[in-house]
Amino acid sequence: MTLSPLRLKLLRDLRRLWAQALAIALVMAAGVATLVLGVGAHASLDRTRAAYYAENRFADLFADVTRAPCSLSVRIAAIDGVLAVQTRIARLALTRIDGMAEPGNAMLISSPGDDPAALNRLHLRLGRMPDPRASAEAVISEGFATAHALGPGDRFTVIMNGRARDILISGVALSPEYIYALGPGDMMPDERRFGIVWMSDKALAAAYDLEGAFSNVALKLAPGASEAAVIARLDDLLAPYGGTGAYGRKDQLSHAFLDAELQQLRGMSRVLPPIFLLVAAFLVNMTLARLVALEREQIGLLKAIGYGPLAIAGHYVEFVLAIAAFGIAIGFVAGAWLGAGLATLYARFFHFPFLIFSRDPSVYGIAALITLGAAVAGAANAVRSVAWLPPAVAMQPPAPVRYRRLFGDLFEAARFLRQSGVMVARHLLRWPLRTGASILGVALAGSVLVGSQWSSGSIDRMIDIAFFRSDRQDAMITFGEERPMAALHAAARLPGVMAAEPFRAVAARIGNGHVSRRVALMGKPEGDAELSRILGTDERPMSMPEDGVILSEALARILGVGIGDQVEVALLGGDRRHFTTPVSGISLGYLGLGAATSLEALGRMTGERGRVSGVHLALDPVRQADFFVTARKTPMTGFLSLLKVSLAKFRETLAENILIMVTVYTILGAIIAVGVVYNFARIALSEQGRELASLRVLGFTRAEVARILYAELAVVVLIAQPLGWLIGYGFAHAVVAAFSSELYRIPLVITRDVYATASLIVITSAIGSALLIRRRINRLDMIEVLKTRE
Amino acid sequence: MEDRAAPTGIDPPVFRVRGLSKLYRTGEIEVQALRGVDFQARTGEFIVILGPSGSGKSTFLNIVGGLDTATSGDVWFMDHELTRGGDAALTRYRRDHVGFVFQFYNLVPSLTARENVRLVTEIARRPMAPEEALAMVGLSDRMDHFPAQLSGGEQQRVAIARAIAKRPEVLLCDEPTGALDSHTGVKVLEALTDVNAAVGATTLVITHNVAIREIAHRVVRFANGTILSDEVNATRKAPAEVSW
């Protein structure tokens, strides 16, 4: 088979321009890969979660009670819309594990066993379910097991109801209820310090004096059932038994955090990849248009020998399609590979038992279509201006460019500017649109770098606000149940405690009109708190009000209220009283929704004064070990949070997740930057090669000639930097907006080093490109330019 | 024509060329562009080089102009041996001593006539003012025009002004009238003879336009890579007296 001459020309053109073609293809590939990877990773996790929930019968509603008789479950099951009921015992306990100085925490829950009809079924990874008759056997959560290298047959100690019990591990499991295993009151998961322990219901009942009773219930709803109606009925049923208000998946800790994480991933995948793809498309369009425009004479020649405009247009469209097809293919492979890697990473972080990869063909189709469209449009645009000219005209160089003096005789006045400088300035100003497009192109390359790297500053700021300015305590003891104020003094006397501040947390629903949210209404001491402080929107610590509540910014916005407005408060525990109270202040907060008031005011609101739920503590680092030993033995300790320990762990986890994703996007952004700048440099050289060769003839040295081209590149690249920062800020803003959920709000803080890094990558790629084309400048053919017209 | 007398044998040679050969190799094809050319030119001489396409005249001009290198033989410019110099030495030579005029002018379109001349005077060692150079070619009133605003002849005269503004020892012109009609071509030739007389630069003009030979001191004919003939014109005509 012989190829047609045009096809041969196509292949040889591709070989001749391989470096530029490759750079363009890589830009396309980066755009395509981000879309495929971002959407793919998110869709994979979304589908995995849905499948996991369905397979393990994750419940729809949850409620805690102090102690309710098992017979109540029949009445609960009879509520309209309830499909299945699972009553359980759930209690927090401290653990003692070899090699860990500080006490760990465990959530003890009745094991659902092997019953296929049970809710929140476990996914056994190792071993077997606990023997229902054995009182000291348990299945433990995988993260906890891994953190301590525990497995079936190993033992550890749980302090149950004040008594240390030796537990034999029968198995290791995952649960849809604890995909994101966060301890109550903790701000981030710490698997070393928090584990889930599933034991036989009988053993738990015996330990906690709950024979014939339950402390937690999970419900599965019939499709189409009203969650709100079931919650209302359930709350009525549970109220006499110390119910603290039922809640749906939306308020279930693991689900809510997972939702927020997925939303972040979606933010990353729905905002950043389209930006990448469109930026890549724009650049490809511009680059190919200029590349094809350089072929003007060849197009004229083809016309002269009888090729029609359509055949010629077809030829150049084929040329760009070949590049695009290559770029798209690389993008598909890289995107699918990176997406799978990212999803695997997340699956491990979230403890999914399996991962369903999503290979949505429509994503691939959209990515390919946008890229092809941009490439073809770029080529068509350039061909159109030439392919329909009479061949004699097309073969001629375009009419000489009419330059004019710009800005009067500014250059004349600027005597210090050499003529080569005037050349650069006039050349850039002669085609303001093209220069503008070049600047925009380089700016976009920089902006995708800013848009993908911004998170570090934001996270540092969240950590700074959360851990160094508001929650500055070293430890937090949450009591098993509310205690009198005397507990504060007992805690303050524990060894190693330098300062103690009480708090009280009451489950409440705060609303305005038909909008309401379930929150923990916090009571804090009046006056200036030193450890756990509420910060105002001006970042200054706020005093707790004598009356009314302080709402976090996000909650106030959701409810649509401001300072002085009234909100309705429904307490979910105790006598479930309802009242209205004014909003006395708005606080800053990036995590969750919050409401706070003074302990005194909370006492009046609940009708029970002098009660506390726990204490915030400042510890003497030297005496920490003493503190841990004593705290573990103290019966009032229900749950112990160690904030600074968790923080270190959090940063570590973050490094593993967000940073890997950011790195992927940064590399792709850098590829775009390099591809764009290299092409600009090459095209500038093609467009000005003749002029530069003429200067060489006149006695300009290679370095002087290179400097002219470099000056032009430098002007474009430098002007592009601030513009790139600005656009990048916009991109980051869009990503942050998509990131934000009720659980997380991320402050947009772009530190100078992000801008600097972005500019460094762009400028480095510009310098690299300049060096790459230096060889071509050195080889400029002086004799050729003398023999030929432009 | 009124002009100073033809340079005599007493003047030192500006160029001494001995056994100059040039072999082009492109892939498997070899082209012998020059075969052992011997040549001399004296200060202030105006030499017209004639010859058909492919006769080697442009290759010759490129090598003596420092744009190309020889395969063998020696080329001396005054006391510089061009055939021994590398790219830097040749660049230096072009910058300090050679003025070029090309068939297609090769002006920088983004610079005005004055600025095109200044482009060269900025890097020259003992340049004349750009205005002076433009006055010599009769373009005092068109100095601030861009190339696109000038006719072909005017553009070529700007190129000449650019070439002479550095006060070069040699002025090398490759088909300077090739792209021009007869009337405009004469004006360009006048500019060339005028500056040759005024500046005293040794001028080599390549052309395949036989009519031009009459304005030269000497006529050199190239054919097949060698010099076929080298004749001194007994009487020179003024450019205005020739036509084609």
* pLDDT score at B4: 47
CA nearest to A402 within chain B: B148
Q: Are the beta carbons of B68 and B90 closer than 8 angstroms?
A: no
A403 interaction partners in chain B (CB closer than 8 Å) = 109-111, 146, 148
Compute the nearest-CA separation of A679 from chain B (Å): 23
B148 in any annotated domain: yes
* ipTM entry: 0.85
Nearest residue on chain A to B174, alpha-carbon basis: A786
Q: Tell me which of A582 and A317 has the higher pLDDT.
A: A582
How many domains does one find in chain B? 1
Residues of chain B contacting A785 with CB distance shorter than 8 Å = 106
* Closest-CA distance of chain A to residue B56, Å: 13
Q: Do A403 and B174 lie within an 8 Å CB cutoff?
A: no
Checking if the pLDDT of A411 tops 70, the result is no
Q: Is residue B84 part of a domain?
A: no
Neighbours of A486 (CB within 10 A): 10
Chain B positions in Cβ-Cβ contact with residue A404 (cut-off 8 Å): 146
Residue A698: which of B94, B103, B147 has the nearest Cβ?
B94
Nearest 5°: CA angle at A285, between A282 and A288? 145
Instruction: Establish if B54 belongs to a structural domain.
Output: yes
Rg (CA), chain A: 34
pLDDT number for residue A720: 93
**What one-character-per-residue DSSP string does A601-651 give?**
HHHHHHT--SEEEEEEEEE-GGGHHHHHHHHHH-TTEEEEEEHHHHHHHHH
Q: Per the CB < 8 Å rule, is B148 touching A698? A: no
CATH number, domain containing residue B223: 3.40.50.300
Q: Considering CB atoms only, which of A399, A400, A699 is closest to B123?
A: A699
CB pairs under 8 A between A and B: 90
Q: Which of A184-198, A404-418, A583-597 has the highest mean predicted lDDT (pLDDT)? A: A583-597
Per-residue pLDDT of B68-115, as tens digits, reads: 889 999 999 998 899 888 888 998 999 999 999 888 888 888 889 998
Q: Are A403 and B148 inside 8 Å of each other by CB?
A: yes
d(CA A649, CA A464): 15
Q: Does residue B127 lie in a domain region?
A: yes
> What whole-number distance in Å separates Cα of residue B237 and Cα of residue B217?
10
Q: How far is it, in rounded angstroms, from Cα B57 to Cα B207? A: 9
In this prediction, residue A657 carries a pLDDT of 67
Of A501 and A304, the structure prediction assigns the larger pLDDT to A501
B213 lies in which domain range?
A: 43-66+97-241
**A401 contacts in chain B (CB < 8 Å):** 109-110, 148
Q: What is the rounded CA–CA span in Å between residue B48 and residue B213?
A: 6
Nearest CB to A697; choose among B67, B87, B88: B67
| Least CB–CB distance from A697: residue in B94, B112, B149 | B94
For residue A216, what are the CA distances in angstroms to A182, A282, A449, A613, B235? 18, 57, 48, 20, 122
Residues of A in contact with B116 (CB under 8 A): 419
B224 assigned to some structural domain: yes
Nearest to B110 among A403, A782, A790 (CB): A403
DSSP class of residue A515? E
Nearest-10 Cα torsion for B194, B196, B197, B200: 150
For residue B68, give the nearest of A420, A695, A783 by CB distance: A783
Instruction: Tell me if chain A has a CB within 8 Å of the CB of B151.
Output: no
| pLDDT score recorded for residue A305 | 78
Percent of chain B predicted with pLDDT > 90: 47
pLDDT tens for each residue of A602-628? 999 999 888 999 999 999 989 988 888
What is the spatial distance between Cα A407 and Cα A279, in angstroms, rounded to a whole number?
A: 33
Over residues A358-367, mean pLDDT = 84
Interface residue B103 vs chain A (CB under 8 A): yes
B119/A430 touch (CB, cutoff 8 Å), yes or no: no
Q: Is B169 on the interface with A (CB under 8 A)?
A: no
B131 touches chain A (CB under 8 A): no
CB contact under 8 Å between A696 and B102, yes or no, is: no
Contact B111 A418 (CB under 8 A): no
**Angle (deg, nearest 10), helices A309-350 and A296-304:** 140
Name chain A contacts of B77, Cβ cutoff 8 Å.
Answer: none
What band does B1 get if pLDDT is binned at 50, 70 and 90?
A: very low
Which 8-state DSSP code applies to residue A742?
S
Quickly count: other Cβ atoms within 10 Å of residue A529's Cβ.
20
Read off the DSSP letter of residue A121.
-
- For B99, the closest chain A residue by CA position comes to A698
B155 touches chain A (CB under 8 A): no
